[in-house]
């Protein structure tokens, strides 16, 4: 049964944030401005900012248990995809990355199944959190998704699953691991390998085919670390998970515009169902949608 969504205006999260390192509760704090400037510099240069130990140590176990308790509600789908989530095009050269298809196992618990008082739900809706993330991205304001499923999800990766090389729909994504696997599940990315003006298909192709590791970075993630990532411009993957412990990661989807709702076809693929909001959005020409994955067809 779906739960009521968390109240978007419930505010203070200083009881779960490591405020000694990240004083986001105090907008005038000197350390906060330094953090924001550092995050902006990292995102501009590398497309990735990792805020280690963002959660208080004493709430890490609670966050892990909350995620673990929901893993039985995960919807899994397996399919062959390229890095752009587009269909095969036989008119393209064989070495074009749009013709390299890899197996992807997607496993998600959707926002409507996550309790309003869960740690990750409190983080997602907090105005304090949105102000901080927006400042790091140098955006005047960011918004939660209107999508009742995709705004906040838990990505569940049991043994044998992986996320192959891909670009994100979103300009940016915010995520936090809540449970680390015994082995594997490593986050790898090729920083800012494409831009708004250049797809750089040759370089992307070499990365996704495993021919070029020189551009690839590996990021060590631990539970409670907050990652801000420009995945629309940096091709990335999560390697195959090994061992009995699942890799669980909360994904916080924000946008520069309000009202974003995922497309019905994609929503059905990822989550196995649709809501009334998705059906209504399909009939509304002005509905806000996630941007296309391929910047230049």
Domain membership of residue 5 (yes or no) is no
| Digit-coded pLDDT (tens) for 84-115 | 999 999 999 999 999 999 999 989 999 999 99
pLDDT tens for 121-164 read 999 999 999 999 999 999 999 999 999 999 999 999 999 999 99
* Angle subtended at Cα 262 by Cα 259 and Cα 268, rounded to the nearest 5 degrees: 150
What's the DSSP call for residue 260? B
Number of domains, the chain: 1
Mean pLDDT of 38-42: 98
Q: Would you say residue 148 lies in a domain?
A: yes
Using DSSP bridges, classify how beta strands 48-51 and 226-229 pair: parallel, antiparallel or unpaired.
antiparallel
Q: What are phi and psi of 86, to 5 degrees?
A: -110, 165
Residue 155's SS3 state is: strand
14 located within any domain? no
- Judge whether 23 lies within some domain: no
pLDDT in tens, 184-243: 999 999 999 999 999 999 999 999 999 999 999 999 999 999 999 999 999 999 999 999
What CATH number does residue 228 fall under? Answer: 2.60.120.620
CA distances from 84 to 75, 102, 143, 165, 169 (A): 22, 11, 25, 9, 9
Range of the domain at 175: 30-282
∠ CA 203-136-143, rounded to 5°: 95
Report the chain's mean pLDDT, rounded to a whole number: 93
Instruction: Give the ranges where the chain is alpha helix by DSSP (H).
Output: 30-46, 60-70, 119-125, 127-136, 201-208, 264-271, 276-282
Kindly state whether residue 13 falls inside one of the protein's structural domains. no
Q: Look at residue 45 and tell me if it is in a domain.
A: yes
Contact 241, 157 (CB under 8 A): yes
pLDDT band at 59 (very low <50, low <70, confident <90, very high): very high
Using alpha carbons, select from 178, 263, 206, 196 the residue that is nearest to residue 83.
206
pLDDT of residue 289: 58
pLDDT tens-digit map of 274-295: 999 999 999 886 666 565 444 4
- Residue 51 lies inside a defined structural domain of this protein: yes
Q: Which residues of 33-52 are buried (b: 16+ CB within 10 A; e: fewer)?
A: eebbeebeebbeebbbbbbe
11 lies in a domain? no
Q: Which helix (H) or strand (E) holds 67?
A: helix 60-70
Confidence of residue 2 (pLDDT cuts 50, 70, 90): very low
Q: Which residues are CB-contacts of 123 (< 8 A; sequence separation ≥ 6)?
A: 13, 16, 129, 176, 250, 252
């Amino acid at each position: 049964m779906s739960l009521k969504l968390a109240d978007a205006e419930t505010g203070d999260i200083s009881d779960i944030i490591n405020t000694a390192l990240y004083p986001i509760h105090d907008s005038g704090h000197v350390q906060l401005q330094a953090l924001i400037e550092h995050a902006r510099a990292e995102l501009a240069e590398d497309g990735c900012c990792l805020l280690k130990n963002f959660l208080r140590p004493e709430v890490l176990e609670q966050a892990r248990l909350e995620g673990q308790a929901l893993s039985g509600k995960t919807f899994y789908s397996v399919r062959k995809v390229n890095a752009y989530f587009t269909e095969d095009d036989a008119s393209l050269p064989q070495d074009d990355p749009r013709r390299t298809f890899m197996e992807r196992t997607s496993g998600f618990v959707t926002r409507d199944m996550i309790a309003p008082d869960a740690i990750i739900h409190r983080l997602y809706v907090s105005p304090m959190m949105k102000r901080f993330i927006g400042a790091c991205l140098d955006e005047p304001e960011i918004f939660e998704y209107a999508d009742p499923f995709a705004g906040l999800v838990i990505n569940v990766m049991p043994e044998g699953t992986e996320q192959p090389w891909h670009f994100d729909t979103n300009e940016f994504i915010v995520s936090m691991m809540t449970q680390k696997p015994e082995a594997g599940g490593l986050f790898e990315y090729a920083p800012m390998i494409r831009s708004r003006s250049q797809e750089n298909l040759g370089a992307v192709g070499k990365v996704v085919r495993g021919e070029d590791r020189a551009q690839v970075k590996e990021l060590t993630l631990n539970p409670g670390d907050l990652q801000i990532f420009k995945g629309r411009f940096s091709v990335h993957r999560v390697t195959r998970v090994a061992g009995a412990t699942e890799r669980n990661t909360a994904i916080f989807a924000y946008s520069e515009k309000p009202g974003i709702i995922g497309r019905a076809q994609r929503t059905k693929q990822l989550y196995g169902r649709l809501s009334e909001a998705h059906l209504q959005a399909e009939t509304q020409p002005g509905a806000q949608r996630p941007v296309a994955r391929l910047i230049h067809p």
